[in-house]
Structure 1
Amino acid sequence: MGRKSILRNRKEKSKKVEQWTLAILPKLKTTNLGNLTMDDLALLMKKSKSTIYQYFTTKEEIFEYITQTRIDNLNTYKAEIAMEVLQLNYNYETLARILTEGAKDISSFYLRQLELHYPTAWKIIEDFLFGLLEDLKQFYISGIEGGLFKPISPELLIKLDEYFIMQLIMDDTFFNKTQKTLESIIKDYMFLKFEGLMK
């Protein structure tokens, strides 16, 4: 059994803490997250356990922090997409760039492991993705009404996005067969989706 952390006030997390926690993501692409111990995480972060316990109480808290930090960085997409919807100044590469930045250093296997072993961290991602689907729906409706997109059912478009976002990105069997990264698949999907929609 691992050492239990002592309940005490934690230090405020700095930019350096953000850097050394996010730096472990590329190392976890094929790791079973359920088997990880605090010792393993300390080794991956190249920090002592006592240093980690100054900022985090549990492994769950570490993964929640990593996930929330990444999602906070991604939330910039909202302002950009909102502006495009208002102006109908469409550029699919804006959205593709933001989504691929979110997928950077992450694999479908990692996402599935996160959902399985750290549901509170996964909920942060899930909430973000459902918000993204809502924003995309408004984008499609505005684009169709404004004559930018072909008159295709917004409900169908959202169903396709929902399948892609909520199922395909966690299908590591698919990624093993294609040998493609999550980032490259997102780029391909966005290109096919939006270039096909354009009039």
Structure 2
Amino acid sequence: MGRKAIEKKRKVKSQKVEQWTQAILPKLVHTELGSLTIDDLSSLFNKSKSTVYQYFTSKEEIFEYITQVRIDSLKTYRKALHKNTKDYRNQYENLVDVLVKGAQDISPFYLNQLKIHFPTAWQIIEEFLMILLNDLKVFYTTEIQNKQFKPISVDLLCKLDEYFIRQLITDHHFFNNTDIVLGEMIKEYMYLKLEGLKA
């Protein structure tokens, strides 16, 4: 009869763990995530395998953590967007800044790989996108009512955002044929939209 595996208690993840896990993202821009092993990830982290296992049980958990940390930083846009102010432009610019910063070091190829190989990590992104789309809908509706934006169909605006977010940001074929990077594309899209909406 074999020995029963003992579930090892993992260490609490510190700010240092957050830093070295986030620092891996630029190295994964063109990497096939499905082929990575814990050994590969340990090497990319510049940590021993035993150190990685002190905090994580699997590759899935690693990518869930990396994704959650980045998404938590993106959620900071909500504070400015929900502020009761007449300066809609400042609210919008803050949103754009947060999204562009959040896209730093992330490629559409990486996002597509995450979607294919780590669905639980991708689900964290999906949940964030639903919150973002809903917040944008409220923002458009409010500013149309305040006569700051043209009376354009909010449903159409939200559908455009949904297409942009769900399709284009993971379309690495599009990005292979253009010099624009993800963060820059987000910025241009958001500003084009703002200019078109202004009353």
- Assess same fold via TM > 0.5: yes
Shift of 1:6: 6.3
> Separation in 1 of the partners of 2:72 and 2:86?
25
**Hey, what does 2:114 align to over in structure 1?**
114
Contact 1:88-1:148 within 8 A present in 2 as well: no
**Hey, what does 1:88 align to over in structure 2?**
86
**Hey, what does 2:135 align to over in structure 1?**
135
- Cα deviation 1:46-98 (Å, max 9, x = unaligned): 00000000000000000000000111111111111111xx3232123211101
Counterparts in 2 of 1:6 and 1:192: CA distance versus 1, 3 Å: farther
> Separation in 2 of the partners of 1:6 and 1:177?
50
> Separation in 2 of the partners of 1:45 and 1:127?
27
Counterparts in 2 of 1:6 and 1:193: CA distance versus 1, 3 Å: farther
| Shift >3 Å, 4+ stretches | none
Secondary structure class of the residue paired with 2:177: helix
Pairing 1:1-199 to 2, within 5 Å after superposition: 7-83=7-83, 86-91=84-89, 92-199=92-199
Q: Cα RMSD between the aligned structures? A: 1.1
Counterparts in 2 of 1:130 and 1:145: CA distance versus 1, 3 Å: same
Secondary structure class of the residue paired with 1:178: coil
- Unaligned ranges ≥5, structure 2: none
Contact 1:7-1:57 within 8 A present in 2 as well: no
Contact 1:115-1:122 within 8 A present in 2 as well: yes
Shift of 1:185: 0.3
Report the AA paired with residue 186 of structure 2: I
Report the AA paired with residue 58 of structure 1: S
Aligned length: 193
> Separation in 2 of the partners of 1:65 and 1:74?
14
> Separation in 1 of the partners of 2:6 and 2:61?
14
Contact 1:88-1:143 within 8 A present in 2 as well: no
TM-score scaled to structure 1, two decimals? 0.95
User: Which is worse superposed, 73-82 or 182-191?
Assistant: 73-82
Between the aligned residues of both structures, percent identity stands at 61
Secondary structure class of the residue paired with 1:180: coil
Shift of 1:102: 1.2
Contact 1:88-1:142 within 8 A present in 2 as well: no
